Amino acid sequence: MNGRRDDEFTDYVTERMWWLRRLAYLLCQDWPRADDLVQATITRLYTHWGRAAAVEHTDGYVRTILVREYLSERRSGWARRVSLTAEPPDTPSVLGDREGALDLRAALAGLPPRQRATLVLRFYCDLNVDQAAQLLGCSAGTVKSQTAKGIAALRRTLQPPRSPGSPEHGPGNVTSGPDGMEVQPRG
């Protein structure tokens, strides 16, 4: 009986692991922390597996657990004071527009957690305003304002005002780091 429950749970998690890790990574901007978040999520999922498997949209149920775990973790003292450094990835690096990718990550990482979660839910998970509000436990108006603020912040970070002779990010630009600290890029 429970073997079957375990099998179903394991099959589901194994199948959706890629998606879970990506979603967690978008929220955390840090692979080790993303894996911890997924670990906490699937542990909670296991305890509610009976209900999760019975609902029509199990992915939505799991997404809710993950996002709420993320937000509650970000509220804890641990997340505020610890910054993890990821190990070099074991997979080969992908060549490409690395600087551009770093800019994107820095821009996303610069958003406060709730704003980041709102953008991820709206534009990566394709939830509408009401769905995102329900998941985040806030009003539709709050989702709208968080979305607008998040997009504006990204715009500011990724499209700095251009000054004569400085077509790209100059060494003097200041962006916001993951925990709200100011980060001075090395130029």
Partner 1 sequence: MDDTGVRALLARVADDPAPPSRVDIAAARQRGRRRIRWHRAALAAAPLAAAAAVALVVSGIIPATLGFGPGGPGGLRPGPETARSRFSPLQPYAAFGWLPAGFSTAAGAAMPAANQDQATTLSATLVAGDRATGRLLTLTVSAAGACQFTGPLRASVLVSEDPPRLMTKTYPHGLRCSDGTGHRVVTPLRAAAPGIGGGSAFYLPSGGLAWEYAPGSWASLTPSAQSPGGRDRLHRMYQAAAGWAIGPGPAGFPATIQSAASRALVRKVAERVSYGATAHIVFPFQLAGRPAGWTVSMASYVPAGGRLLGTGGLQAGPARYPYALYAGVRPAGTEGKCTINRGQGRFVRVHGAPATLYPNVLNSGQALYVCDIGGLYVNINLFMTDPKTHRQVPGTSLGALAIARRMRLLGTDPAAWTTDPLG
Chain contacts with partner 1 (rule: CB under 8 A): 1-6, 8-10, 13-14, 17, 20-23, 25-26, 29, 31-33, 35-36, 38-40, 42-47, 49-51, 53-54, 73, 76-78, 81-82, 84, 86-87, 89-94, 101, 104-105, 107-108, 119-120, 123-124, 150-151, 154-155, 158-159
Q: Could you give the CA distance from residue 43 to residue 60 in angstroms, rounded to a whole number?
A: 16
Question: Of 21, 37, 31, 24, which is closest to residue 86 (Cα–Cα)?
Answer: 31
Taking the complex as a whole, how short is the minimal distance between the CB of residue 68 and partner 1, in angstroms?
Answer: 15
For partner 1, give the closer residue by CB, 94 or 181.
Answer: 94
CB atoms within 10 A of CB 72: 11
Q: Which two tokens stand for residue 167?
A: 């077509």
Question: Of 74, 91, 8, which is closest to residue 40 (Cα–Cα)?
Answer: 74
Taking the complex as a whole, how short is the minimal distance between the CB of residue 45 and partner 1, in angstroms?
Answer: 8
For partner 1, give the closer residue by CB, 35 or 179.
Answer: 35
CB atoms within 10 A of CB 116: 25
Q: Could you give the CA distance from residue 40 to residue 75 in angstroms, rounded to a whole number?
A: 15
Taking the complex as a whole, how short is the minimal distance between the CB of residue 186 and partner 1, in angstroms?
Answer: 21
Taking the complex as a whole, how short is the minimal distance between the CB of residue 141 and partner 1, in angstroms?
Answer: 18
